[in-house]
Chain A
């Protein structure tokens, strides 16, 4: 019995790539800026989904890997003139290693204790970097504009950062899909449903969880490196911003926790909503309030998120949308 599987992943990646090309073809720099942010949020939300959606561990302080990646890459570019692409990869590897190191002890904690520990780690890292002089301390670091000359000026650097971010987002989605469809993904979901039973059927939960955590740390580190390269300035409050971490969680829940497409939909909807609220003079001040209200309604009434709801409502979609 072979079922023809719908080519979900290629279709999704092509669709995202087409959206990414749109501002380039249209020559619209402000749209490109917006999409840069959306692709970054897709990366963050989708990474969190791997540890939270598949494995069931709520990583509240996940932004710590975004910050670590950003700082290491920035420092390499700033102090040693390392090429951006090399610096990004060189930053993501230690970030993933750090995830393995802290993952081994903290993933033993369950439920609320794990969530609290991840907040603690992010805050510890933020306050440490604030005091760490090689990284510029509380003031942070900023580029001299000549840094961008290597890449053909500031404008070309912006382009490069955009393509890099799109690439990272596509890679994250591909990884998220690969994990979900693999045997490894099944073992993660088994841990999510019942860790003790998972252990009985021969899964090594400790190992599987750490691997998932490392994967989910790698991509935010790349995104951090790219974001701060383009930004030209990095400082602790911006790199380890707990609110951004929680916003990414909101996007996952909004789009549909544990689905591949959910974080993309969630990030796009959240960002679109924020964009339209900020520009409305009446609602600009109540932007946070409405974000909270939206979150509450989703949590209380649409637990499965947008993608999950669609899958429930239209069973036909279940074989097409992951």
Chain B
């Protein structure tokens, strides 16, 4: 196997991994804070794509400004999802929250299909390309990685340095103790869900600048997020980013050695094995 094929695939995979990781961070944050597996995660990613699409095609807004809008929409929409669908059943058995978030999934996909149909879409962005050492990096890819790292950093700054962020972590740690300290836990959980949704939509917005997509694309990325989250440890945002990079690299590199169609087999089998052998994730327990 020649190095010439290996390095570009590795670079491609690595860059994509950051965007995957960003989506997975949203999923894992919600799980870490409230022990809810958000099954509306995939449609939220799709929603991020369509916010960018609608703004750029109908209003001519730059996709990266569309991305900022997507973050805000995600925050608000996520908080609404929490208050309407999750808050009432937050202490119920897993099945209930799984189904509650899945019902949101159905509703988003239902409305999305009715409005946008399932035909493929694409956002037109061209930022040129960087070349060097036999590797070509598209501008959109480079910007996507930069934004993903920036957002991940901002999330950590928020969770560890600000009072509100610390309150969210306190609620995650012990909800009743946090209540006793005067924290409005319901508001914090809604905010955490909003941030999780915003992360999903951000990664969707970034993905829309890289690939074409349909209203149903979210499902693929949702299942990928599950794999990444389990790899990085359920409830651990930093682990999710690392897990994303690992999956991205794996996807990039394995395609050099085995047919592309076998890659998902490898992914899902390792996903189940990791769950069985190390349910806390390969990267240790939750932060």
Contact = CB atoms under 8 A, between A and B. Distances in A.
B230 A289 contact: no
Given A109-B275, A292-B104, A138 B261 contact: yes
B265 A109 contact: no
Interface string B263-277: 011001101100110
Interface string B91-109: 0111110111011111101
A13 interface: no
Nearest to B35: A112
Interface in A123-143: 123-124, 127-128, 130-131, 138
Given A112-B35, A290-B110, A106 B99 contact: no
Contacts of B105: 292
A58 B39 CA distance: 14
Nearest to A105: B276
Given A111-B94, A289-B114, A296 B272 contact: no
Contacts of B275: 106, 109, 113, 116-117, 120
B8 interface: no
A117 B103 contact: no
Interface string A82-125: 00000000000000000000000110110111011101110110
B99 A250 contact: yes
A288 B106 contact: yes
Contact of A292 (B89, B95, B110, B279): B110
Interface in A149-169: none
B110 A300 contact: no
Contact of A303 (B96, B219, B223, B230): B96
Nearest to A294: B103
A296 B96 CA distance: 10
A299 interface: yes
User: Chain A binding site: helix, strand, loop or mixed by DSSP?
Assistant: helix
Q: How large is the interface on B (under 10, 10 to 19, 20 to 34, 35 or more residues)?
A: 35 or more
A109 B261 contact: no
Contacts of A300: 85, 88-89, 100
A203 interface: no
A71 to B, nearest CB: 16
B114 A112 contact: no
Given A296-B103, A299-B103, A120 B272 contact: yes
B103 A293 contact: yes
Nearest to B272: A120
B146 to A, nearest CB: 31
Contact of B96 (A123, A127, A287, A299): A299
B265 A286 contact: no
B98 A58 contact: yes
Interface residues of A, number: 44
Q: Which of B92, B106, B113 has the most chain A CB atoms inside 10 A of its CB?
A: B106
Contacts of B106: 288-289, 291-292, 295
Contacts of A303: 92, 96
A249 B261 CA distance: 29
Contact of A115 (B88, B98, B269): B98
A171 to B, nearest CB: 26
B164 interface: no
Contacts of A138: 261
A249 B104 contact: no
B276 A292 contact: no
A286 B105 CA distance: 13
B193 interface: no
Given A109-B279, A112-B35, A300-B85, A120 B268 contact: yes
Given A124-B269, A296-B85, A299-B96, A116 B226 contact: yes
A106 B106 CA distance: 28
A209 B30 CA distance: 30
A56 B93 contact: yes
A58 B97 CA distance: 12
A286 B275 CA distance: 37
Interface string B153-197: 000000000000000000000000000000000000000000000
Interface of A: 52, 56, 58, 60, 105-106, 108-109, 111-113, 115-117, 119-121, 123-124, 127-128, 130-131, 138, 242, 246, 249-250, 253, 257, 285-293, 295-296, 299-300, 303
21 contacts: A58-B95, A105-B276, A108-B276, A111-B94, A112-B234, A116-B37, A116-B230, A120-B226, A120-B268, A120-B271, A121-B268, A121-B272, A130-B261, A242-B219, A253-B95, A286-B110, A293-B103, A295-B99, A295-B102, A296-B107, A299-B100
Interface of B: 31, 35, 37, 85, 88-89, 92-96, 98-100, 102-107, 109-111, 113-114, 219, 223, 226-227, 230, 234, 259, 261-262, 264-265, 268-269, 271-272, 275-276, 279
